[in-house]
């Protein structure tokens, strides 16, 4: 039985890594993917392990393991150095004593394999098959977004949600911000599913909450590193409290899908427009109070955007620039 391994920090894990792992799995009867995690790195080991498991699956001939180490004991570098390779080779021999094959895309793979006394199989060292690297992705997330597996994208995605009561310009602001930043956006599904804000059931609101969360999750894959979302699950809950006197019983994963890095709340200080499907002006302002109370009850921090349409837009742009 041929036992082999690949190793890396996978910060981030990308499709070049995925391709190399697929190649290595075909070369070995049993492949170990070693995630090397130092005590000074910002991305938790279990997050990186989850990326690989979701992307590569749980094949019976593949083991995805975490190797934690201290940078004071082992150098954290990708430089091709014999001295560095000798230190890592000794540690790999302790961790994987039965390994007979090493697959890498790096020149230091030769050194590590030599010191371990095993065979090195280089994979695409010129990166012609998948022309990307972790450093290139971090320098230009938007330009290299398509090289990230779907499991990785949520970690790097920045989500901005636009909130507020009816007729405060959420839809228009969402679209303007998305166009300005070249970002993806998710429209408010409630306006699509419920024709009249005065006529709906709790079942309608549950359907809105589920579908809106699904659309957010789907949009992250194609939107790039910034996603602008019109309305969120807390506003749906506020409608439930406002109309029925109680919140909906919704699963935790829906809240996770809606979790935003920045919540912008539009104050109702712009002209009210009644299109025939909205609440009355008085109820619109009452709903604003329910929205705020719901956000506070759920410990959601938000930044208020008062002023004219243009003032709100300019302030929103400034806040998003600070975020990204």
Same domain, 228 and 114: no
Strand positions, DSSP E, the chain: 3-8, 30-38, 62-69, 101-104, 119-122, 158-164, 184-186, 226-230, 262-266, 303-305
Tokens of 100: 């007979």
Q: Is the predicted pLDDT of residue 58 greater than 80, yes or no?
A: no
Asked if residues 139 and 278 have their Cβ atoms less than 8 Å apart, the reply is no
Cα 218-222-225 angle, rounded to 5 deg: 105
Mean pLDDT (whole number) for 107-131: 96
Q: What is the pLDDT of residue 59?
A: 82
145 in any annotated domain: no
Domain endpoint, select from 79, 110, 140 = 140
Domain endpoint, select from 140, 169, 204 = 140
Q: Computed over its alpha carbons, how large is the radius of gyration of the chain?
A: 25
147 in any annotated domain: no
Same domain, 315 and 185: yes
Same domain, 65 and 98: yes
Give the domain CATH number at 209: 3.40.50.300
Give the domain CATH number at 77: 3.40.50.620
- Write out pLDDT tens, residues 247-274: 999 999 999 999 999 999 999 998 888 8
Residue ranges in 140-277 assigned as alpha helix (H): 153-156, 170-181, 189-193, 202-223, 233-244, 252-258
The span from the CA of 239 to the CA of 211, in Å, is 16
Residues in CB range of 210: below 8 A, 6 or more apart: 254
Same domain, 85 and 37: yes
Asked if residues 173 and 181 have their Cβ atoms less than 8 Å apart, the reply is no
Q: What is the pLDDT of residue 278?
A: 87
Q: What is the pLDDT of residue 102?
A: 98
Q: What is the pLDDT of residue 48?
A: 98
112 in any annotated domain: yes
146 in any annotated domain: no
Q: What is the pLDDT of residue 272?
A: 87
> 122: which strand partners?
104
In the predicted model, what is the mean pLDDT of the chain? 95
Residues in CB range of 285: below 8 A, 6 or more apart: 165, 268
Q: What is the pLDDT of residue 190?
A: 87
148 in any annotated domain: no
151 in any annotated domain: no
Q: What is the pLDDT of residue 191?
A: 87
Domain endpoint, select from 140, 174, 196 = 140
Number of domains in the chain: 2
Asked if residues 271 and 225 have their Cβ atoms less than 8 Å apart, the reply is no
Q: What is the pLDDT of residue 221?
A: 87
β-strands 303-305, 62-69: how paired? unpaired
Residue numbers of the domain that contains 118: 3-140
Same domain, 131 and 161: no
Q: What is the pLDDT of residue 84?
A: 95
Q: What is the pLDDT of residue 121?
A: 98
């Amino acid at each position: 039985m041929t036992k082999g391994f690949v190793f890396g920090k996978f910060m981030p894990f990308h499709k070049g890594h995925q391709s190399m792992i697929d190649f290595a799995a075909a070369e070995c009867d049993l492949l170990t993917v070693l995630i090397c995690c130092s005590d000074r790195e910002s991305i938790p080991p279990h997050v990186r392990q989850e990326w690989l498991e979701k992307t590569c699956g749980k094949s019976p001939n593949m083991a995805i393991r975490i190797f934690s180490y201290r940078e004071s004991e082992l150098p954290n570098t990708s430089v091709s150095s014999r001295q560095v390779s000798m230190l890592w080779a000794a540690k790999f021999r302790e961790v994987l004593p039965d390994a007979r094959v090493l697959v890498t895309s790096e020149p230091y793979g030769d050194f590590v394999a030599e010191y371990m006394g095993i065979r090195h199989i280089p994979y695409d060292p010129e990166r012609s098959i998948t022309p990307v690297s972790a450093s290139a992705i971090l320098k230009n997330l938007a330009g290299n977004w398509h090289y990230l597996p779907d499991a990785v994208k949520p970690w790097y995605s920045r989500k901005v949600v636009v909130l507020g009561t009816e007729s405060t310009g959420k839809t228009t602001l969402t679209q303007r911000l998305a166009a300005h930043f070249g970002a993806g956006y998710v429209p408010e599904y409630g306006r699509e599913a419920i024709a009249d804000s005065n006529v709906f059931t709790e079942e309608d609101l549950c359907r809105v909450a589920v579908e809106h969360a699904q659309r957010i999750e789907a949009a992250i894959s194609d939107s790039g590193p910034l996603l602008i979302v019109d309305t969120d699950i807390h506003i749906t809950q506020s409608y439930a409290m406002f109309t029925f006197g109680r919140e909906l019983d919704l699963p935790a994963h829906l809240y996770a899908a809606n979790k935003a890095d920045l919540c912008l709340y539009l104050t109702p200080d712009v002209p009210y427009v009644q299109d025939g499907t909205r609440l009355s002006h008085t109820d619109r302002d009452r709903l604003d109070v329910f929205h705020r109370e719901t956000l506070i009850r759920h410990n959601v921090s938000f930044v208020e955007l008062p002023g004219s349409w243009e003032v709100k837009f300019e302030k929103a742009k400034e806040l998003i620039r600070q975020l990204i």
